[in-house]
Chain A
Amino acid sequence: MNNVLNIIKDFTQTYHQKIISLARAAENSLNVLNISNDAKKLKEEGIICDLNEGNAPYRPRYIVVDFEKFFKNGSAFLRLNPPKDIWEATNNLLILYKHIPSITTFPVYIGNIDYLLEPFIEDEREAYKAIKLFLEHIDRTITDSFCNANIGPKRTKAGEIILKITRELQNSVPNITLKYNKETDDDFAIEAILTSLDTAKPSFANHEMFVKDLGENYAIASCYNGLPIGGGSYTLVRLNLAYLAKKAKDEGDFLDNILPYAVDVMANYMDERIRFLVEESNFFQSSFLVKEGLIDSDRFTAMFGVFGLAECVNHFINSDNVFERFGHGEYANRLGIKIIEKLSEEVKKHKNDYCKFSNGSFLLHAQVGIDTDKGISPGCRIPIGEEPELPQHLLQSAPFHKYFPSGIGDVFSFDATAKNNPEFILDIIKGSFNSGLRYISFYGNDSDVIRITGYLVKKSDIEKLERGEQVYNDAVILGLGSVKNQRILERKVRKI
């Protein structure tokens, strides 16, 4: 109960942040999951981590609502009719957002908002005003950065207005992803790039690659998580490859014994979380989202996360010479691929009947890390401070992306002069996607909004929080932790 009192008395949390913390504390006072001793041990050792999903899952971690259906049918539960103009459209969306559960209690996906709003644009000035209020409302009420809006792939009037307003507002929420493919025209892509150099979004998703892996009906949710629309992910648990490596005698032992063992233990733990959620929590029996067909359990999967590949590989390489380490050395990079290939094989062996969308398999996810990870790199990323030059970096990173349909991405910080030649970045995006990169984010080194690992925060908010002042976005706390533990502000600035 001490914990509860601490939350209540905490000076830096806002009222709403306290409510969320209190709910979490209540959930965590339960002990209802049947967790194996092996899983318990690996959890204690920090090798398996469920990212604070809570002890009694009562909603899927990530819900990806079918907003097109919502617009077509309205909602009986919320007593909303299909919208007839831009005001009704944005208003209906804002109402629904407040009823979408998730791990953060805020929606992690808020729709392909340009395509959703495009049919309602009649008068451009009115649309501009409506969308500006809409985006402002989202930033101030969805006070969590793990919220993704999608745009594209094609240029629309609404898409252009959204980019323009995004530059004007300089908000950290929502995160935005441009689904990019050959149908995205260059001018629109350039607008997106200039916006991103200004305010760290949109990121670019390799649309062709996602469609191939997940089908036409996919969305990017939370940071960069590729998930089926009308479904989502029950859970995300992650495996700490950096710590796991220490259990192995050598590379061979790691690949043949330690890794398969850990995958098995973690997969069983995920099974148990899913079992409780589906069979006991009654979420899928009671939620109006299910009843109205806005989500369907057949469109759910679960995400098997990993992080710390770089440190795992470097553990076996055991060299201080940067040219031999992960991201540089040929042997190290090949070992990285070998580990991920083996991981992918092992994860595919495991089946869970509730993951219908992915034929019973869990989907691999390169997890971006959390604020408390000290000295462990996100997913398959090269450690900050050891990044090679950009061309080598992209070529090194690309081969990993195909293994991670539910998300992997790289972040680059560019010198502000890149604004003089945005075509330069477009060339890099095109080349990256041709080379098999799935997702790429960047920002200008002079912008206030910056990308921490997958999510965005304002540098000015981090400074406020550090001074002990309240900020309304709860991801800022994570951002501050990451700045301290993961040297985010020291990311290599690309001056080319």
Chain B
Amino acid sequence: MRAPVNKLIPFSSVDGPGNRFSIFFQGCNFNCLYCHNPETINLCSSCGACVDVCPNNALDVIDGKVVWKEAFCLKCDLCINECSNLSSPKVKYMSVEEILKEIIKYKTFLSGVTVSGGECMLYAEFLKELFKEIKNLNLTCFIDSNGLILFEGFNDLLNLTDAVMLDVKSFDEREHIMLTGKSNKNVLKNLVYLGSKGKLYEARTVVVPDVLDNVSNVDNVSRMIAKIDDKIRYKLIKFRPLGVRKEFSKIKIPSDDLMAKLKDIALKNGCKNVIIT
């Protein structure tokens, strides 16, 4: 079994507790306007458009497939800029063993492993096999998910998972569809399901001025969290125009005042652990 991996990061301080090995899978079932890594959304169609822009011949077409020769890659990302398919030619289809080998190199420095994306739940079966092995290394397993796929259907995986970090991008269904292309029904279901099973480490909402109804989102989501378990961490993330698509790069960063006001709302609604980043 193999899954498409966009990137491995051996040390991460922002993907859960302690130092974590983060695995970013390729492919997503949302298409968020503000996506910070839009090149992780689709699988490569091997259209070949990026091959010619590569300054170091690190890309080739073999049997109609675009192939990435990592040893030649300068990490200039010109290929990604060229791709109009929201994809990247630098994706590796990795096996559980191959990923494990990388994790073991850094094991002594780690609290655990976090799988992210794209949307890693697209590869839930793969994750199950991966987590079985990671558990043998005495590391914790975290999932970072957009919440479209229902966790109810994957209790085997959930039993191997220490906790999930869930994006709740909008409370309003229409707004959620406008932003991501999909309804938020499953996201909210997951919030309740994971929370009540004690598997929710953190819920997060990105704050985008003018585009979203931030006050209503934070107000409603924090009420839900407080009702499930007031110790669940609620992370309010400032939108930053880094890495986003051109159309979104002109959106303002939320002010510190707005962030403080939103945090206040969440605290008043009973959340005990609210952080701003």
Contact = CB atoms under 8 A, between A and B. Distances in A.
A394 B105 CA distance: 12
A1 interface: no
Nearest to B235: A420
B277 A427 contact: no
Interface stretch (A86-94, A211-219, A431-439): A431-439
B248 interface: no
A130 B19 CA distance: 38
Contact of B17 (A417, A421, A432, A496): A421
A101 B10 CA distance: 47
A395 B108 CA distance: 11
A388 to B, nearest CB: 12
Nearest to B275: A420
B276 to A, nearest CB: 10
A417 B13 contact: yes
Interface string A68-107: 0000000000000000000000000000000000000000
A424 interface: yes
Contacts of B19: 423-425, 427-428, 431
B14 interface: yes
Contact of B109 (A417, A418, A421, A428): A428
Contacts of B111: 423, 427
B277 A423 contact: no
A244 to B, nearest CB: 34
Interface residues of B, number: 17
Interface in B99-136: 105-106, 108-111
Contacts of B10: 389, 391
A42 interface: no
A426 B17 CA distance: 11
A425 B19 CA distance: 7
B201 to A, nearest CB: 13
A431 B109 contact: yes
Nearest to B277: A420
A496 B106 contact: no
Interface string B134-173: 0000000000000000000000000000000000000000
A432 B110 CA distance: 11
A489 interface: no
A426 B108 CA distance: 12
A483 interface: no
B181 interface: no
A432 B108 CA distance: 8
Contact of A496 (B11, B18, B108): B11
A431 B11 CA distance: 12
B109 A427 contact: yes
B12 A496 contact: yes
A427 B106 CA distance: 11
B11 A428 contact: yes
Contact of B18 (A394, A424, A432): A424
A496 B13 contact: yes
B17 to A, nearest CB: 6
B88 to A, nearest CB: 20
Contacts of B12: 496
Interface in B191-238: none
Interface string A465-486: 0000000000000000000000
Contacts of A430: 108-109
B69 to A, nearest CB: 16
Name, among B11, B13, B14, the residue most crowded by chain A CB atoms within 10 Å (CB to CB): B13
A390 interface: yes
Nearest to B110: A427
Interface string A367-411: 000000000000000000000011100110000000000000000
Contact of A426 (B9, B18, B106, B277): B18
B18 A423 contact: yes
Nearest to A418: B13
Nearest to A432: B109
Nearest to B111: A427
B11 A391 contact: yes
Contacts of A432: 109
Contacts of B9: 496
Contacts of A417: 13-14, 277
Contact of B106 (A391, A420, A423, A424): A391
Interface string A200-226: 000000000000000000000000000
A421 B105 CA distance: 22
Contacts of A395: 105
A94 B63 CA distance: 78
Contacts of A390: 11
Nearest to B12: A496
5 contacts: A390-B11, A391-B109, A418-B13, A421-B18, A425-B19
Given A418-B13, A424-B18, 19 more contacts: A389-B10, A391-B109, A395-B105, A420-B275, A421-B13, A421-B17, A421-B18, A423-B19, A424-B13, A425-B19, A427-B18, A427-B19, A428-B19, A430-B108, A431-B110, A434-B108, A496-B11, A496-B12, A496-B13
Closest 7 CB pairs of A and B: A431-B109, A427-B19, A424-B13, A423-B18, A431-B108, A391-B10, A434-B108
